[in-house]
Amino acid sequence: MKTSNNYGKCLEHPIELNSVPASIIFMNNLVTKQGYHIIFHRLGSMRYEERIIDHYEILSGDNQYDDIFINIDNERSKWMPPEGYLFDSFPESMCFQLIEREGLEELDPEDIIDFDEKYVFIDSPPNPCDFEVELDYIKSLPPLERVLLDSFGTNGCVEDFPYSLIKSLMNNFHELSSEQIEKILLAVKPRIID
């Protein structure tokens, strides 16, 4: 299935999903085409041609901001990432996440997550047996990506985005010193809106 270049990037062509849980699973599994994880929050919802569209602001691990628009009022979900993004998980894993999140025994047919595996980011990290190569690879990553193990965010609006979400994430890393946390936060540039 081919989409327009602005699919999911504008009010006119939002991502088509069928529930709030589907949108959270969608966003939690989204990465950039380069494999950088994202941090997101929902700025709010707006009406467009009799539909309610959710507006998400995102920041990727390589310090790039973007906007994604989702309409959750659809009979079935269209599991296709917007241009520039892929999924970090295969459909089976995302189905399991949805079942677990909603406490279900199984998914109804309209909730089954299915998509072409061409939409999955396939990581080819360095050989974990070669510690030096792996260490060099980790050092080459942007500071924020080094601490992002997964994409994550919230369905609510967060003040001081992305800094407050990053701080809450890093509070779970007991091995990070306050100097390391400050260095990561300083590397995150604020969003400049033209």
> In terms of Cα–Cα distance, which of 67, 78, 66 is closest to 23?
78
Long-range contact list for 167-174, CB < 8 A, 24+ apart? 169/39, 173/147
Mean pLDDT score across all residues of the chain: 91
pLDDT at 177: 85
Angle between helices 178-187 and 163-170 (to 10 degrees): 150
15 CB-side CA count, 13 A: 27
- Identify the pLDDT of residue 134: 75
Q: pTM (2 decimals)?
A: 0.90
Rg from Cα positions in the chain: 17
d(CA 113, CA 89): 11
Provide the β-strand partners of residue 54.
45, 70
- pLDDT tier at 1 (50, 70, 90 boundaries)? very low
Give pLDDT tens digits for 30-78: 999 999 999 999 999 999 999 999 999 999 999 999 999 999 999 999 9
pLDDT in tens, 136-180: 877 889 989 988 889 999 999 999 999 999 998 888 776 788 888
Rounded to whole angstroms, how far apart are CA atoms 62 and 188?
9
Q: How many CB atoms lie within 10 A of CB 75?
A: 7
Give the whole-number percent of the chain exceeding pLDDT 90.
74
Q: What is the pLDDT of residues 180-193, one digit of tens each?
A: 889 999 999 999 88
pLDDT value at residue 136: 82
